[in-house]
């Protein structure tokens, strides 16, 4: 730790905060993310913070920020119990969230089962249980969604009262999807037009529509644009904030929601808006530091950009916690070579001596859950407390202790000379987080460790007025999207350019849901093509052979044999994973 | 009536914007965000060139509809040299400054194109040419988005380049 501290101080003196970057995970506890966020954004003041949530749930967060100008899951798992149609978009729930799938299977086996729509190029267990299975070519999700929206609008299955009262942007969407009749999209997606009609009819006439989205959309071309079109389906059908009518933009990791709300994904803590000076001022007040200290001149640096800065030698200390970029990032050869540079000071904090740890200057052994205490929040905003059960082995320490040790040795101080962050253990960190979350959408002020021990599982926002938490948000078209309150002004869905506050204010002065249209663009690196059915990905200890599509096979692959899939920028040699 | 002049000028400026976007994409191939988005945005300009060529004959203009195509750009020797160079200097900080200069240039060119659409739209209204007006309403917003993208990328990338 002294080596890390010494190098940090050298770099801060020489170059300043822009020399330091932090890359974390979706698997720590809330208290740890918040501590990391305060250290990075407050004490150091770097804009280079991201989580490996960049690879999955970043799309969920971005899609919600586009449609509702704020993160926060609209639906609740209990919507599964009430829905009459469940539409799963790129969401192989049977293999990724088995408990949630059991809940759906219970509905399917009971009287009045819901209809299932499955969008997945593969013949998954969900596809087999579906009323309609749409199998679009990989990379064509936006075209398919536009066709479904086209059908809903053409057949007038739109809730016009809801659209008029609670939304902006409908006309733009109607104009955009005009160009996507089922016949044309059938060509693009290689899905029969009748199937598109049938799926749209079921979705368009649903009384209680639950939509869920995961990696098939998030890890594909035009990810955010596609996930936003799913939001649009529920918005124009008025399917929000009622039992069974909701959206679940799912998470890929257990505590990804905390990465997002605590600021460890680079956003400012408590869903605060970096482009809103009053939010930054509020944060500076809570942390008792100067407002200039908190970077808010541009969106947070996303991971791939951070890697580019490391490659160019302008990020010179990278601190990786709980993730293994030398295995999980695209363009592995390049990433490994970037992380191997002599001039980079690489810190890795993990349970295991990973491939990334093998490249590190300093490895910090960390404890895992059950070896430490903290809270975690799942995809539908439900907060749990996880108490320590056993001592961590060897030299391993809780991530919270590691971050706090760094802060103390760096001697970070607030304006009054007090230690920053001021807390010392999980519960004091949680109490500090409650103050930070007060008045924001993810309000934790009604929670405490004692309360969570009395019966874990309470959904935020949880306040004095709603002591039992909140099952569903966005009731009666009430959103968190007013210009002064919202977390984000959004981005252009094609160029990615952030929307300026001066554009957002006149567009959505009253804080309604934002209907955002997007055109379909052909995939960047390959023509859409059918792919063979992939098995589950290989163990994370070696690179999975399942290359990004497209993949053309000369002969069937045998489990355990060696294969070299070729894709646009990579041709890794690996073992064919078993099922 | 000088609408033909405005059309001809716009056709020229959109063509050069498409070419510049493709050139910048090649030059910064290792910056995926620049490379892919710039190529997507070049497609907008190519489409605009095409539509301008189609409406040309109504104003006695014979405008070419073939903008710098991706295919021929891809196979061109210059393009290969540019993208190879981008890979070779990937480890050095100087391309950061070069990228800022390129984005600044793109912003200026896109701003010019956007103004040209503005002018054409005004002219179309005065001449009560609804087809031409519809064309400007389709294309002008996209050139504004091209310009905003260059501006946004400058804002995002400049702090690191300038403060390191």
Q: B74: Cβ–Cβ under 8 A, 6 or more apart, which residues?
A: none
The pLDDT value given to residue B66: 73
Q: With contacts defined as CB-CB under 8 Å, which chain A residues touch B148? A: 492, 495, 497
- Residue ranges of A 315-374 with Cβ closer than 8 A to chain B: 341
Binary contact (A15, B163; C-beta < 8 A): yes
pLDDT at A214 over 60: yes
pLDDT at A525 over 90: no
Average pLDDT over residues A391-400: 97
Average pLDDT over residues A263-275: 96
Provide the mean pLDDT of chain A.
92
Q: A51: Cβ–Cβ under 8 A, 6 or more apart, which residues?
A: A23, A24, A25, A26, A58, A256, A259, A260, A264, A265, A266, A323
**What share of chain B has pLDDT > 90, as a percent?**
71
pLDDT at A547 over 60: no
Q: With contacts defined as CB-CB under 8 Å, which chain B residues touch A527? A: none
The C-alpha atoms of residue A237 and residue A26 are separated, in whole angstroms, by 32
Binary contact (A313, B37; C-beta < 8 A): no
CA of B41: which chain A residue's CA is closest? A495
Beta bridge partners of A382: A459
Is B141 at the interface with chain A, CB within 8 A? no
Q: How many residues does chain B have?
A: 164
The C-alpha atoms of residue B101 and residue B118 are separated, in whole angstroms, by 26
Q: With contacts defined as CB-CB under 8 Å, which chain A residues touch B30? A: 308, 311
Instruction: Label the pairing between strands A574-575 and A562-563.
Output: antiparallel
**What share of chain A has pLDDT > 90, as a percent?**
88
pLDDT at A538 over 50: no
Number of neighbouring beta carbons within 10 Å of residue B56 = 18
With 0-12 CB in 10 A as exposed, 13-18 as middle and 19+ as buried, what is A562? Answer: exposed
Average pLDDT over residues B11-35: 95
Of residues A515, A527, A434, the one with CA closest to residue A481: A515
CA of B42: which chain A residue's CA is closest? A495
CA of A525: which chain B residue's CA is closest? B36
Number of neighbouring beta carbons within 10 Å of residue A275 = 19
Is B57 at the interface with chain A, CB within 8 A? no
The pLDDT value given to residue A543: 40
pLDDT at B90 over 80: no
pLDDT at B97 over 80: yes
Average pLDDT over residues A542-561: 52
Number of neighbouring beta carbons within 10 Å of residue A295 = 23
Give the pLDDT band of residue B107 (cuts 50, 70, 90): very high
Closest residue to B156, CB basis, from A18, A299, A312: A299
Binary contact (B164, A15; C-beta < 8 A): yes
CA angle A102, A103, A104 (to 5 degrees): 90
pLDDT at A76 over 70: yes
Least trusted range by pLDDT, from A475-489, A530-544, B14-28, B130-144:
A530-544
Is B40 at the interface with chain A, CB within 8 A? yes
Q: What is the domain-level CATH number for residue B103?
A: 1.20.1260
**Which of A228-232, A564-568, B55-59 has the highest average model confidence (pLDDT)?**
A228-232
pLDDT at A338 over 70: yes
pLDDT at A266 over 90: yes
Closest residue to A495, CB basis, from B31, B149, B161: B149
Give the mutation candidate from B31, B32, B74, B106 for the A interface (greatest A CB count, under 10 A): B32
The pLDDT value given to residue A573: 58
The pLDDT value given to residue A422: 97
Cβ contacts of A546-550, under 8 Å, gap ≥ 24: A546/A577, A547/A571, A547/A572, A548/A330, A549/A138, A549/A139, A550/A138, A550/A526
Is B84 at the interface with chain A, CB within 8 A? no
**At residue A194, what are phi and psi to the nearest 5 degrees?**
-60, -35
H helix or E strand, kind and range, residue A79? helix A79-82
Q: Which CATH superfamily hosts domain A60-249?
A: Dimethylsulfoxide Reductase, domain 2 (3.40.228.10)
Instruction: Label the pairing between strands A458-459 and A382-386.
Output: antiparallel
Give the pLDDT band of residue A526 (cuts 50, 70, 90): confident
Give the pLDDT band of residue B87 (cuts 50, 70, 90): low
Is A19 at the interface with chain B, CB within 8 A? yes
Average pLDDT over residues A332-339: 95
- What distance in Å separates residue B145's CA from the closest CA in chain A? 7
Q: With contacts defined as CB-CB under 8 Å, which chain A residues touch B39? A: 524
The pLDDT value given to residue A521: 95
The pLDDT value given to residue A375: 97
Is A313 at the interface with chain B, CB within 8 A? yes
pLDDT at A552 over 60: no
Is A292 at the interface with chain B, CB within 8 A? no
Binary contact (A304, B30; C-beta < 8 A): no
pLDDT at B121 over 60: yes
- Per domain, the residue ranges of chain A are 2-54+255-374+399-440, 60-249
pLDDT at B82 over 90: no
CA of A330: which chain B residue's CA is closest? B32
The pLDDT value given to residue A537: 39
pLDDT at A557 over 60: yes
Binary contact (B145, A521; C-beta < 8 A): no
Of residues A38, A20, A420, the one with CA closest to residue B164: A20
**A-B contacts (CB, under 8 Å):** 72
Instruction: Fold for A2-54+255-374+399-440, please state it.
Output: Rossmann fold (3.40.50)
pLDDT at A77 over 70: yes
Binary contact (A495, B41; C-beta < 8 A): yes
Closest residue to B155, CB basis, from A298, A309, A314: A298
The pLDDT value given to residue A511: 96
Q: A99: Cβ–Cβ under 8 A, 6 or more apart, which residues?
A: none
- What distance in Å separates residue B80's CA from the closest CA in chain A? 16
- What distance in Å separates residue B5's CA from the closest CA in chain A? 31
Structure tokens at A48: 């280079």
pLDDT at A539 over 60: no
Q: With contacts defined as CB-CB under 8 Å, which chain A residues touch B156? A: 298-299, 305
Binary contact (B152, A297; C-beta < 8 A): no
Please, are residues A577 and A538 in contact by the beta-carbon 8 Å criterion?
yes
Domain count of chain B? 1
Average pLDDT over residues A19-28: 97
Average pLDDT over residues B17-29: 95
Is B71 at the interface with chain A, CB within 8 A? no
> What is the Cα A550 distance to its own chain's centre?
25
Please, are residues A366 and A349 in contact by the beta-carbon 8 Å criterion?
yes
The pLDDT value given to residue A542: 38
Domain A2-54+255-374+399-440 and domain A60-249, same fold? Reply is: no
Give the mutation candidate from A299, A333, A497, A507 for the B interface (greatest B CB count, under 10 A): A497
Average pLDDT over residues A179-192: 97
> Domain residues for B56?
3-163
């Amino acid at each position: 730790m002294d080596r890390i501290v010494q190098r940090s101080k050298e770099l801060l003196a020489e170059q300043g905060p822009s020399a330091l970057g932090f890359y974390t995970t979706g698997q720590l506890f809330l208290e740890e993310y918040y501590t990391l966020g305060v250290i990075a954004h407050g004490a150091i003041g770097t804009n280079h913070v991201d989580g490996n949530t960049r690879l999955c749930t970043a799309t969920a967060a971005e899609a919600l920020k586009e449609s509702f100008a704020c993160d926060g899951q609209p639906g609740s798992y209990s919507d599964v119990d009430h829905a009459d149609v469940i539409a799963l978009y790129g969401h192989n729930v049977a293999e990724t969230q088995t408990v949630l799938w059991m809940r759906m299977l219970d509905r399917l086996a009971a009287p009045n089962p819901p209809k299932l729509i499955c969008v997945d190029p593969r013949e998954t267990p969900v596809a087999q249980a579906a009323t309609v299975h749409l199998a679009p070519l990989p990379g064509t999700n936006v075209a398919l969604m536009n066709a479904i929206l086209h059908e809903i609008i053409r057949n007038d299955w739109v809730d016009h009262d809801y659209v008029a009262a609670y939304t902006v942007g409908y006309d733009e969407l109607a104009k955009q999807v005009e160009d996507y009749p089922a016949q044309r999209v059938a060509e693009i997606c290689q899905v029969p037009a009748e199937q598109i009609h049938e799926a749209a009819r079921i979705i368009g006439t649903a009384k209680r529509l639950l939509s869920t989205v995961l990696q098939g959309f998030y890890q594909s071309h035009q990810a955010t644009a596609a996930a936003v079109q799913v939001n649009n389906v529920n918005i124009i059908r008025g399917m929000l904030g009622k039992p069974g009518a909701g959206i679940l933009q799912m998470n890929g990791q257990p505590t990804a929601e905390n990465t997002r709300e605590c600021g460890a994904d680079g956003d400012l803590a408590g869903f605060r808006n970096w482009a809103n000076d009053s939010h930054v001022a509020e944060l500076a007040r809570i942390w008792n530091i100067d407002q200039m200290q908190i970077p808010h001149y541009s969106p947070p640096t996303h991971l791939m950009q951070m890697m580019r800065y490391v490659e160019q030698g302008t990020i010179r200390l990278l601190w990786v916690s709980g993730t293994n970029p030398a295995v999980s990032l695209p363009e592995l050869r390049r990433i490994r070579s970037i992380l191997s540079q002599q001039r980079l000071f690489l810190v890795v904090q993990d349970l295991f001596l990973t491939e990334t740890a093998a490249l590190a200057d300093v490895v910090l052994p960390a404890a895992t859950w059950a070896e430490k205490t903290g809270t975690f929040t799942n995809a539908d905003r439900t907060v749990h407390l996880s108490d320590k059960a056993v001592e961590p082995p060897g030299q391993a320490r809780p991530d919270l202790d590691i971050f706090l040790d760094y802060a103390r040795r760096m001697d970070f101080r607030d304006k009054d000379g007090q230690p920053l962050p001021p807390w010392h253990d999980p519960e004091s960190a949680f109490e500090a987080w409650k103050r930070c979350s007060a008045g924001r959408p993810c309000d934790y002020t009604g929670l405490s460790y004692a309360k969570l021990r009395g019966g874990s599982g309470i959904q935020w926002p949880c306040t004095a007025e709603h002591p039992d938490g909140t099952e569903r948000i966005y009731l009666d078209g009430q959103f968190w999207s007013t210009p002064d309150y919202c977390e984000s002004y959004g981005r252009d869905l094609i160029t990615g350019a952030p929307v300026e506050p001066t554009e957002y204010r006149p567009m959505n002065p009253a804080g309604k849901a934002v209907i955002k249209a997007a055109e379909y663009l052909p995939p960047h690196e390959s023509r859409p093509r059918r792919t063979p059915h992939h098995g589950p990905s290989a163990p994370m200890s070696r690179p999975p052979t399942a290359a990004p599509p497209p993949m053309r096979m000369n002969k069937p692959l045998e489990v355990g044999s060696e294969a070299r899939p070729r894709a646009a920028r990579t041709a890794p040699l690996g073992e064919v994973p078993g099922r | 009536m000088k609408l033909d002049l405005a059309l001809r000028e716009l056709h020229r400026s959109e063509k050069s914007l498409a070419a510049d976007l493709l050139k910048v994409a090649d030059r910064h191939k290792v910056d995926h965000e620049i490379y892919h988005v710039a190529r997507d945005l070049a497609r907008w300009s190519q489409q605009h060139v095409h539509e301008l060529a189609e409406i040309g004959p109504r104003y006695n203009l014979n405008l070419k509809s073939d903008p710098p195509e991706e295919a021929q750009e891809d196979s061109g020797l210059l393009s290969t040299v540019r993208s190879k160079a981008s890979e070779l200097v990937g480890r050095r900080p100087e391309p950061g400054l070069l990228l800022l200069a390129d984005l600044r240039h793109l912003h200026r060119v896109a701003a010019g194109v956007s103004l040209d659409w503005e002018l054409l739209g005004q002219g179309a209204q005065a001449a009560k040419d609804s087809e031409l007006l519809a064309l400007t309403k389709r294309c002008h917003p996209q050139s504004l988005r091209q310009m905003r993208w260059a501006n946004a990328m400058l804002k995002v990338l400049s702090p690191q380049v300038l403060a390191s």
